[in-house]
Structure 1
């Protein structure tokens, strides 16, 4: 009696999953081409010339306002490249936190300051050998990370996702780091 009910429930769930997974039809490519052409063809109206009635102070105030609006669009970090926001923890060379070779990374180098381990999903974006900068989003330890370049040379356990592990020399440093949100950015 219970088996037919389970089969029926599975059939309904799978059919609903198929309906939810259906994607809407995309517009014809000519629609997109025409929209791009129209956007590029339109030219903005020229800015009106400053009249003599405007005082020099008003002109300066408008220039400062434009400059501050333009500076809002500029990136705050001097580095450019791929970025990701991830969970960060720290580790040190102890067999309980690593495999049977605690001082050897996945790339075969020795652990040292500046080495980071990434989860396997992040390794697709930041492969081994990538130089990265790390920004602490909590704001607590920005001086510790400021201006430092790390290199991806290790990986984490397969169960970890969207995670970065920073190698530290001592267990107490690793415990003080704890777990926090960071932004990792590839350095070019």
Structure 2
């Protein structure tokens, strides 16, 4: 169960603890430009950097359209955070992720084309394509293609979206990503006592 440290000073670093066993054995420090919602005042963080310390999921970052991501770590020196999908289907969140409305970006991006194939008679070219199990159902298959532009012309397949994955490492297949790396520019928006 996560536990938050307390402090009388509004912009002091806070901790979000995640319990993996009978003791608290994992924590993430939260400081500017991030802030903990309902723990620190708005003036202790920058817009778009709000975090929540959840009892079961740990530290959460909500991104527009894509929902909550669990924060694995924050590197303030590198201005980088690594986040993952608490529901373990990252491709689903990536279909709706739009970083333009956030302060976050990436150092590099891997691009994938995503298709929905009904009945799925389309033969998979395993060099470039894969089935995404967590998005597929009994009567349709969702596949991704790691080419820079759509090439599947099967009439049973409809193009859904191009997905850009912010990452430090480029993997062969979309479903092999368990997390994404987000970066941010330097922010100096914190002024306690506002």
TM-score range, shorter chain: under 0.3
Which has the larger strand fraction? 2
Higher relative contact order (CA 8 A, sep 6+): 1
Please say which structure displays the higher CA radius of gyration.
Answer: 1
Which has the larger helix fraction? 1
Give the TM-score taking structure 1 as reference length.
Answer: 0.23
Give the TM-score taking structure 2 as reference length.
Answer: 0.22
